[in-house]
Each structure stands twice: as C-alpha cells, then as structure tokens.
Chain A
Amino acid sequence: MPAFPAPSASGLSRRTLLRGGLAGAGLLTLAACRSAADTATAPAGDAASPRRGGVLTVGAGVDFTPALLFAQSANTLVQRLVFNTLTRYDDRLQPQPELATSWQVSPDGTSVTLKLRDDVLFHSGRRFTADDVVFAVKNLQNPVRSAQLRSTAAAVTDFRKNGDFELTLTLAHPVSNIFDLFEFMIIPDSASVEEAFAGTKLIGTGPYTFTDRKPGSSITFARNEKYWNPGRPYLDGVEIRIVPQAESLLSSLKTGQTHLSYSIRGKDVATLKTDPQFRITSYDTGAGAYYIGANVTGEHVSDKRVRQAIAWAVDRDRLVQQALGGYGTVSSTPWPKSSPAYSEASAGRYRHDPEKARQLLKEAGLTGITLPFAHSNDPGNTAIAQILQYDLKQVGIETVLQPTDSPTMQKQLISQTMPALWTLSHGFAQLHPATLAVSAYPFNEAKNSSHFSSPAYTEIVQKAWKRPDSDSPEAKALYQQITDVLLDEQFVIDLAIAGLTEVAGSKVRGATLNKFGYLNLDDAYLTA
C-alpha cells in the first residue's frame, strides 16, 4: 500500500505563495518589457515639418531576390534605397537630375552627353565617376543580369569620357527611350557587384546603407551619413519586413507594426479606404496591366475574329470591381493615362458586348468552342480567371482552367509553349511606349509568347524606338499606329490597368515610387 503524506494543516502553503509570487513577477516582467507590437519608433514633432529620426517599416509580400537586382521584379523596394539612378522622371515623364546634373542629346539622336555630380561617394568611401556609369551600362548589357531594358543598353556602342564627371554615350541608332534606361539603371559599385548579385553585400551611392538581411524575414538599412543630397535622408533607418500571407500583412499594417506597404491586395485596400489611420495613394503610372494572352497558332484563336470576340465578351468593369477591389482602370490598351500613347477612344474600344462577341464567332463559323485557359495558381489570379471563364461561357466559349505555378508559367511564356489562352499581368507600359514593344516579352515584335509576328508591327515598333524624340506629333502618331495594331490583332487582350497602391500609416510622409516601382525615401519622415 502506498504511503500517503498527511494533508497540510495550513490553508496557504509556502508553495502556493511561491507560485503566486512567480506568476506575479512574470506578469510584471512582461509588462515592463518593450512591446514588439509598437516597435515602430518615431521622433517627436508635428506633421507639417519634416523631422529627423525614426525607423520606417515597410511591409512586402515577397522577399527580395538578389539575382533580380538589375531587373524589374515583384520586389523593387531595395533598389533606390541603396542605389541612385542617373535621372528620374517627373509626373509628366520629363527627366529630372539625379546623379546626372544635365544632359545633351545630339541633333541626330546618336549620342548623349551626360554631366555628372562630382560630390558623390559610394558607401565604401570611393568617389563616383564616369567610369561607374560605363560599368553600369555594360552590366546591363550582360544577359545574365536579365535586365528588361537590355536592348536599350545594348544600343550604347561606345563611351567617351571627358574628365571624371562628363561622359558621352554613342548609340547605334537614335533611341527614343534612352531616359527610361537612365531611370531604370541603378549605379552599382563595380568592386562588389557580384556580392550584390548574390545578396550578401549591397554598396551604392543611395540614401541608405545596407546593414542586414534575414532571408524570408527582413532587410534593414541605416542612414547614409555622407549622402550627397544635403540634410537627407531624414530617417535613421528602414526595415523591409517580409510578410507573405496577405491577411497577416493587412493585420501588420492595422497594428502599426508596419508603416507602409505597396503589397496590399485591392480588395483589402477597399476595406481601409474610410479608416483615418491610413492614407491611400494610387499611382496612375500603373504597376502593370491585366491581360488575356492568345496563342495565335492555337486552334480557333488563330482567327483574329475569335480574339476580338473574347475582347468584347469580357466585362472589365466587373473584373475591376470584384477582383481588384475597384483599384484599377478598365482599358482595352496597355497604356496608363500618363503615357504619351494613351487615348481615351482607344482605351474604351472594347466594352462588354456579348451580342457583338457572338456575332463575331458566328462570322468565324464557330459555335460552342472549348479552349484551354492557363492562369497563375495564386488566389488573386484564380479569381480573375474564374470571372473571365464565366464571361466567355456567356458567349459560347467554354474554357478549361489550367492553374499553373509561377515558375512553370514563366518557362511556358519564354519557351512559347502557352496554351490557346492565358491570363497574366504585364509591365512596362508606364514608360515611353517603345519600351513596351521592345522590352516586355508579351509585346516583343521580334519574338513573343503569342507567336504573333507581322512586318507592319515590326516596322512601326522599330520606327518608334529609333526616333531621336519621344514626344513629337510624329512620335505620337507612331504610338497610335502601335495601339491600332494591338487593338486589331488582339494577341494581347488588355483588360485593366492595375493601379500601384500605396497604403501608408498616418505617421508616414514623403515616400514616393519611381516609374519602375523603386521606393524613394530621400524625403520620407515619420511624424509624432
């Protein structure tokens, strides 16, 4: 029989007291701790005047991919924090000085002379000179860098230095989008470029120095005390926090753990619209455009009347409202309103007209066709595909949805093995129009995912690209011709221009993006 100890005579034992004491001490310790829920620090001061100090936290849905440092990708927040570009566009697409103080394009458009700042230091302490611009252009000419503007960089055939701070670039032919390149091309430190490409060391001339990266978690930056822009930046540092789950990212913003994000889904942004804690800014430059791609060698879709029927069948308004939360602009063309190629008549060419779609199918001698339809398998793109599937069914086009993961889709796009239809988004329409047609693969006149080729299209694109100017009436007439080909051929059926939307906490001021989505925090600060 087990021995049973006698029960305690006292009602409140020492053990009970000890337990209570430990629990109380634990609670007091937690209460006295810093709170991770409000680690976002801000200096004291009023909202009207910029204040120095504080660490800004930016929430990103995807992690930084070092190998895409020199390309436009899903996360381009890092580029303009650590690096500078030669020029930057204003709202009217006019270049403004950055590392280049002035520029002169030769009358025939075959050379550009740049005058450079002479007071710029890399984070390593080395002085920035014309050699760094030469290196940056050659860096983008390297196909391994996968730069979308490689064809523009490749048009630079020679470099002529005039001292350390003046440089003439010789071009193979006039290039209308040369300033797109100057806005796109970050100036890396030649000594550490391979380490930058591997994500271990980022050295540039930008407002913040790279301090640490925890893959999948965060990237941190500190103020560059020797930045060439006097008094800038205001912030002590920046942290980019990676939050892949859309709901968690939204919660992170609502709790103040994250100050700023460009990765909030449209339907989530809609829920924050009336909340005074947030300021929502839509960039009309567009993050890209949603489209249906058509493989013109595929059965049925080889007939352009079928592709036009699809364009008439889609209810773009419903798509923008239901799938994008209203954050997008209905459009039949790829151009955002800020583009010199934009025209309201062209953007509104295809409206929701199922009857017209049925008529075109009838003219093509087709009724009740079935087409394979690939889409990215993430929830947002799946919702878009389902909406499109419904619309096409209403006019007699059955589609078989093919959810595909991103790497597989990219491989199919590049290897031109897409099915009859697919839906995705494309970029590069927010710049000079020639850039879209020579740099964005869906539109590339030489080779594209749709297998579309036409001597007329090639001729117009090449003419637009090889012009010495980009804004003259002649240039605009060429852009309209490109638009007309796109609207007629419909190998890329544009649906809506996606708005790049900034959601900022009420304390954040002065954050901006360039045309490539590079985050510029030179003038950013946190109010009290």
Chain B
Amino acid sequence: MRTFLLKRLPSGLLVLLLASFLVFLILRLIPGDPATTLAGPDAGPQAVAAIRAQLGLDEPLVGQYLTWIGNLLSGDLGPSYAIGGQVSDLIGNGIAATVQLTLGALLLVVLLALPLGVLGATARRRPVAAAVHAFTTAVLAVPPFVTGVLLVLLFAVTLGLLPAGGHESFLDAPDLALQYLLMPAVCLALPSAAVLARYLKDGIERALAEDYVRTATAVGVSRRRIVWLHALPNALPSAVTVLGLQVGHLVAGAVLVERIFAWPGLGQLIEQGVIRRDYPVVQDLLLLIVAVYVAVQLLTDLAYAWLDPRIRWE
C-alpha cells in the first residue's frame, strides 16, 4: 500500500501545483484589480499606485506567486484585501455556514422524497398520484430564485412566521438558527427532493410488480407492510446512489440560495471575493476546493487498492 501511495501522491501534488498556477494567472487576467477596487471610484492614480505598492501588487508576478505559495506552505493564508479579517477565518466561517445549509437541505430532501415517492407509487386514487406527479414536476421546473422569493413572500411577508433572510449560529441560538435555516433549506432541497421522489416511485413500482409481493398479498400481508418493509428497502439502493449525486447539486445550488437569503456561506464569500478582486480569498478558496477533490480522489484510489489487490500491482 505504501508503494501504491508513493506512486499516486506525486500526480496529486502535480495537479495541485498546476491548479495553483492556473488560479493565480486566471485571477490576474480578469480585468480590474484589487488596488483600483479598494481605491474607490473617485481615486486618482497616485492613490491606486500607493495601494498597489502596499499590497505588493507592483512586484513581478513570479515573486507574488512564490510569496503566496510560501505563505500557504507555512500555514498562513494571510489577510483579505477587501472583505477584511484573516482569510482562514473567512473560509472557516463560510464552510460552517454552507455545511449547515447543505446538511439541512439534505435532511429535508430525504424527509420530503420518502413520503412523496411512496405516495406516488402506491396511491390507489388517480388524483393523488397525479397531484404527486404535478408537484414534483412543478418544483423541478421552477428555479430556486423564484421558489425563494415565493417562500419569502408567503412565510415572511404575509404570514410573518419566519425571517426573510439572515443567519444565526446553532451554537449561539439554536432556536433562531433553525428558523433562519428553514426557508433556504427548503428552497435548496425541493428540486433534489423531486428527483429523488421520482426515483423512489419508480423503484417501488418495480418492486411491487415482483412475484414475492404477489405471494405476500396472497398470504394476507397488509399492503402498508409490503410497501414499507419490502418494496421500499428494495428501491432504496438506487435511490441512495441518486441522493449521493444530489449532494453535489445541493452544494452548487447553495451559491444561489445563499444570495437570496443573505446566508454567509462559501458561495457568498467567493462571489464577494471575485466582485472585489480579493485575490487572497479567491485564490485560497479555489485551491482548497481543488485540494479537497485531489484528496477525495486519492482516498478513492486507496480504497480500491485496498479492496482489490490486483490494482496495487498494476
């Protein structure tokens, strides 16, 4: 295994190195720079030049790159140019908020998809099945920014039950945090719940057509028991695979939902970083994402190698 790891590790490090080059260069190719952004619209060239010098942006690009990598290797992500504070704190807080939102949405996906899938597959009355189908189609068709605005109008503006937006930490005030989380999590969860519900419905319908179900019905087992204890467990494996794929959609969708509900997650952070040309924030965040992917890939390769010794010897 150690030999296998030593073989794989250099390619992972090479990917990281190339990614760092790309991230660094692409940011500098985007028009506009941190100094002009920080100087403001009324600033003159002298102020811009002074800010550029203070940030070290007047150094050659190679020097800037080496300084960045050197600081990263020593564990210092440095200060943010425009947002303020340390980049490590900003990313840490952003991750916490995005994970909170994504996990909340994931839980809702399961809670919504399960009854909808079962109801869609087992409803004996045609209108009920049609209603489930219509609901899942509608939430798939309506984009999250529309759902978000409608949810705010209904639950915040009209009914006054939930806050229109914002964020609270679960550690500081769990009751308020739950209320802040509810609408963004629902908004994020609905499309994924619809997809999962449809997979579940199909899976349950296929299971219900199996011979053993007919036998069970013949020996007098209740339909409810057949559905929940036998058909559903058979439909779950493929649904779990779909759920895994939906996690990626949830993380990507969080970027948009965070903006609608003023949720201070990674999506907001990267958006603010790009808009303000906050190089340290964007560079570190993008490289962190690449590092996570490289690490996951490496772990997956290791898991395969551990499960299948032939791979180790290839």
Contacts and interface: CB of A to CB of B under 8 A. Distances in A.
A217 B30 CA distance: 26
A198 B37 CA distance: 15
Contact of A65 (B30, B38, B79, B269): B38
Contacts, number: 215
B203 interface: no
A68 B51 CA distance: 11
A36 interface: yes
A251 B148 CA distance: 12
Given A199-B84, A214-B93, A216-B269, A150 B47 contact: yes
B75 interface: no
Interface in B165-209: 165-168, 173, 175-176, 178-180
Interface of B: 30-33, 36-51, 54, 79-85, 90, 93, 149, 152-153, 156-157, 160-168, 173, 175-176, 178-180, 212, 215-216, 219-222, 225, 229-230, 259-262, 264, 268-269, 272, 275-277
Interface stretch (A240-248, A323-331, A385-393): A240-248
Contacts of B79: 198
Contacts of A265: none
A67 B84 CA distance: 8
Given A143-B46, A146-B39, A245-B260, A38 B179 contact: no
Given A36-B180, A410-B37, 19 more contacts: A5-B225, A33-B178, A39-B176, A144-B54, A146-B43, A198-B79, A198-B85, A199-B84, A215-B85, A217-B262, A245-B260, A251-B156, A252-B164, A254-B156, A406-B275, A414-B48, A424-B41, A426-B41, A447-B44
A411 B176 contact: no
A198 B81 CA distance: 8
B259 A37 contact: no
A144 B51 contact: yes
Interface residues of A, number: 70
B166, B167, B212, B219 — which one has the most chain A CB atoms within 10 A of its CB? Answer: B166
Interface in A371-429: 405-415, 424, 426-428
Nearest to B220: A7
Contacts of A428: 42
A242 B166 CA distance: 8
Contacts of B175: 33-34
B160 A410 contact: no
A405 B44 contact: no
Given A1-B212, A5-B225, A200-B85, A251 B40 contact: no
A34 B39 CA distance: 43
B51 A146 contact: yes
Contact of A200 (B37, B84, B149, B162): B84
Given A408-B32, A414-B39, A217 B83 contact: no
A427 B40 CA distance: 11
A440 interface: yes
Contacts of A254: 156-157, 164
Nearest to A424: B41
B168, B173, B179, most chain A CB atoms within 10 A? B179
A186 B165 CA distance: 32
Closest 4 CB pairs of A and B: A199-B84, A407-B32, A143-B50, A33-B175
A68 B164 contact: no
A257 B166 contact: yes
